[in-house]
């Protein structure tokens, strides 16, 4: 298996390589109609029904990947904020690990992470 990494700039108009520019256009944050128009006009790519379907599939896939990344980052940020709040409450003397454990609201993993951050 071979793996090739391609660095896309996100700026299709700035690439001097046609293939890279086409990929940049396909994966850019622009609506599908604009992408179709750019591919037809700038890359002389005839928009057949098959190509249009494949392009829509690719655009939907990249949007899904971007959305998943956003949601994953959001969850990590929420978890980090939650753990920081718990840690600060313990440091400020409002609660302790045993009291938090008794509530049943926090996982053992969360409480272990907070306890580890206190030392």
pLDDT digits (tens, 9 = 90+) for 104-118: 999 999 999 999 998
Q: Quick check: is 38 in a domain? A: yes
Q: At what angle do helices 49-91 and 18-27 cross, to 10 degrees?
A: 60
Q: Quick check: is 93 in a domain? A: yes
DSSP string, 100-114: HHHHT-S-HHHHHHH
CA distance 109 to 101: 11
In this predicted structure, what is the pLDDT of residue 60? 77
Residue with tokens 């998943």: 68
Q: CA geometry: angle at 114 spanning 110 and 118, to 5°?
A: 170
Task: Report how many domains make up the chain.
Answer: 1
Q: Supply the range of the domain harboring residue 92.
A: 33-118
Q: Quick check: is 100 in a domain? A: yes
**Residue range 62-74: average pLDDT?**
86
**Residue range 99-107: average pLDDT?**
93
Q: Quick check: is 64 in a domain? A: yes
CA distance 40 to 68: 30
Of 63 and 82, more confident? 82
Q: Quick check: is 110 in a domain? A: yes
Residue 11 confidence class, pLDDT cut points 50, 70, 90: low
CA-based nearest residue to 83, from 100, 99, 68:
100
52 and 61 Cβ atoms separated by less than 8 Å? no
Q: Quick check: is 4 in a domain? A: no
How does DSSP classify residue 82?
A: H
Percent residues over pLDDT 70 in the chain: 92
């Amino acid at each position: 298996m071979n793996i090739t990494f391609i660095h896309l700039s996100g700026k299709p108009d700035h690439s001097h390589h046609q293939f890279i520019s086409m990929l940049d256009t396909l994966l850019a944050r622009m609506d599908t109609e604009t992408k179709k128009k750019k591919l037809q006009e700038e890359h002389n790519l005839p928009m057949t029904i098959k190509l249009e379907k494949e392009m829509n599939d690719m655009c939907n896939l990249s949007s899904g990947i971007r959305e998943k990344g956003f949601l994953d980052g959001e969850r990590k940020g929420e978890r980090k904020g939650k753990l920081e709040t718990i840690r600060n409450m313990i440091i400020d003397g409002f609660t302790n690990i045993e009291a938090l454990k008794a509530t049943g609201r926090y996982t053992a993993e969360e409480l272990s992470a907070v306890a580890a951050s206190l030392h």
